[in-house]
Structure 1
Amino acid sequence: MRVSPARLLAVPVLLVAALAACGAEPALDTPAASAPVVAGKKINLSPDQNRVRTGKVAAIAARVPKEIAADGRLTVGFSAGGSPPLVSPATDDTTLIGVETDLAQLVADVLGLEFTPRSSSWENLFLAARSGTYEAVFSNVTVTEERKDTYDFATYRIDQLAWQVPGAGPVKAIKGPADIAGLRVSVGSGTNQEKILLDWDRQNRAAGRQPVEILYYEKYGDVLLALKSGRVQAYFGPHPNIAYNVAVSGGSRIAGTFSGAGPDLQGLIAAMTKKDNGLVEPLHEALNTVIRNGTYGQVLERWGLASEAIPESRINPPGLPRQPAS
């Protein structure tokens, strides 16, 4: 993990008990309805998901490595600190729900395996995938050239990032490095958006502009509280989470969107596995199966993410370029 000289470790903010109890992320303003509506879709946040399902495809299931299929389960890792509509705890504060869990369920169906979700910190997802503890990770992971050294990827969504700013704040639009010079901004540690942000900061310093002050928080809820209080002026993160929060909560807006692979390449989100363990090919075939049979589209539609669909899954496509050494 690359650490910026400008990095400032923020102390996590204690969340109010009511929000913590229901497992919801705190918002800039209280949502107007208990059943949020995003992109015209009412989002079900209860543990009773009635997920979209599909059937086993024997020919694809037969290609799962024997050591992985032996226990009859597909153990899938998710980031416990996620937020809707990607992956988050349901209203029971236990059941993991979201577009990521739904797609992993579909893949497990095609492979004839029992979907077994596991949650951890963002950093531990990579350690657990590398060790084989998690047979796959479906957690908004972007394909990058550095990650391809250690993991295999089967793509399933486009990767869009966004800048979230307070609705009444002074920052109107963020289109490039110059627009963040001198700002206090937040970003997730160890993410591809952090790499893009650090590159922008290097460009600003080289051009004689003010450096960025970067604050790191463990949870998106803490970021939202920091935005509301003025501790940070902008947050750079996954577009789906930010669009969901803006639609449901109000009080903030999107000041710019960017590809998760940088300015010259459309970023892609992918299922991640231990490199060369033989699982990426059947994962890839399973994803293309659900894309073709329409269940993939149904899942994205129910979470308001139809605009992030891809026409086909790809194995290890070009990703976010390697970043220069600090």
Structure 2
Amino acid sequence: MLSRRTFAASLAALAAAPLLSACGGDSDAATGTGGSGTKKVGNINIGPDQNRIRGKKVDEIAALVPAAIRKRGTLRLGQSADSSPPLGFFATDDKTRIGSEIDLASLVADTLGLRLDNDEVSWENLFVGLDSGKFDAVFSNVTVTEERKEKYDFATYRLDNIAFEAQKGTSWRVREPKDVAGRTIAVSSGTNQEKILVDWSKQDEKAGLKPVDIKYFQKETDYYLALQSGRIDAYLGPSPSAAYHVASAGQTQVIGTLSGAGDQIQGKIAATTKKDSGLVDAYAAAIDHVIKDGSYARVLKRWGLSSEAVTKSEINPKGLPKT
């Protein structure tokens, strides 16, 4: 497992190193310290003093929360302890949890009139915590699936997308399989991204086009080094990670996005709670409220995730099919 700051620090190092083919001006987005002492990667604040966007209690929405939780006054939240900028990672003090997921969860808790009680655990223990009642909710990049819907309720708050990232300035765009024919593209082994890319390559071959030259590397930073040196044309990975790298380094661009579930369904990320806990309606109403008042959009923009915004929270929508 990556240390708390490994990935963020690695991206910071990449941000400071100009792409081999980039113009001189592109190297300005280096890690630095502003006049107030705030640590930044590009324009993204990764210091402990976040000045987080906050909300206000809405009585009619707070009334939807079960009485026992209202009396307790806290929202017991589970989040993954993994370092995954910009979703969830640790600030430069190595102890303050920051990222888009904690920001959005804070907005929801504020709207519900609850104090956030956040706990970072391993991925599998997020669901153990929900099952045992340790957590009221999980805000941690959980995709809605038909299998998970058997045990949990969902209120969506973000799209689940993957992205092709290439050097800044390229006119190449990816919208369908033929756009990657003959290209050299890196992807992580064993991921949904790999499955989609392999399927697209097969479709290209059936259409009489060149297959994709798929490359694999050991570390996430290795993909970006290969991109800098021109050994690959693009890297296919999670859209949030690509957005963070683009915003922090300023030397690459997203040239195409698609659902992390593939061509058949749009994947969706949701606040997760134990089935029939009575909380999902409150979550959905709170999410709808912060969407309408604009604070939701401000959070996503802050972390470079505006392209994954939803216009309304859906309760238990169609999820990824069972395998």
Q: TM-score, normalised by structure 1?
A: 0.73
Q: Deviation digits for residues 82-114 of structure 1, max 9, x if unmatched?
A: 333222111111111122111111111111111
User: Does the 8 A contact of 1:164 with 1:255 survive in 2?
Assistant: yes
Asked if residue 186 in structure 1 is aligned to residue 188 in structure 2, the reply is yes
Two-structure CA RMSD over aligned residues (Å): 3.8
The 5 A counterparts of 1:273-288 are 273-288=273-288
CA contact (8 A) 1:223 1:235 kept: no
| Displacement of 1:195 | 4.0
Q: For the structure 1 residues 131 and 98, does the alpha-carbon distance in structure 2 shift closer, same or farther, using more than 3 Å as the test?
A: same
> In the alignment, which residue of structure 1 is the partner of 2:20?
none
Count of residue pairs brought into register by the alignment: 293
Q: Which residue of 1 aligns with 2:24?
A: none
Higher RCO (CA 8 Å, separation ≥ 6 residues): 1
| Pairing 1:1-326 to 2, within 5 Å after superposition | 20=6, 24-26=9-11, 27-30=13-16, 32-34=30-32, 35-37=40-42, 42-164=43-165, 175-176=176-177, 185-186=187-188, 194-195=191-192, 197-198=194-195, 201=198, 222-225=219-222, 228=225, 236-249=236-249, 254=254, 256-323=256-323
Hey, what's the Cα distance between the residues in 1 that align with 2:315 and 2:182?
34
SS at 1:115 equivalent = strand
Do the aligned residues in 2 keep the contact of 1:23 with 1:92 (CA within 8 Å)? no
Asked if the contact 1:77/1:136 (under 8 Å) is kept, the reply is yes
Report the alpha carbon displacement of residue 266 of structure 1 after superposing the two structures with TM: 2.6
Output the CA distance in 2 between the equivalents of 1:180 and 1:87: 35
Deviations 1:10-58 (A, max 9, x none): xx7x88x9x64x9634454535242334xxxx32222112222222122
Q: Give the C-alpha shift of residue 210 in structure 1.
A: 9.0
Q: Distance in 2 between matches of 1:82 and 1:180?
A: 34
Counterparts of 1:307 and 1:164, CA distance in 2: 14
Larger Cα-atom Rg: 2
Return the offset for 1:144: 2.0
Residue-by-residue CA offset, 1:49-69 (whole Å, 9 max, x unaligned): 222222212232222223444
Q: CA deviation at 1:298?
A: 2.4
Q: Is the 8 A contact 2:188 2:194 kept in 1?
A: no
Distance 1:143 1:216 in 2: 29
Q: Does the 8 Å contact 1:144/1:261 carry over to 2?
A: no
Gaps of 5+ in 2: 17-28, 33-39
**Matched letter for residue 186 of structure 1:** S
2:26 counterpart residue number: none
Q: After superposition, what is the alpha-carbon deviation per residue over 1:275-311, rounded to whole angstroms, capped at 9, x for unaligned? A: 1211111111111122222222222233333332222
- Higher mean alpha-carbon deviation, 116-125 vs 152-161, is at 116-125
Give the % identical residues.
44
What secondary structure is seen at the aligned counterpart in 1 of 2:125? helix
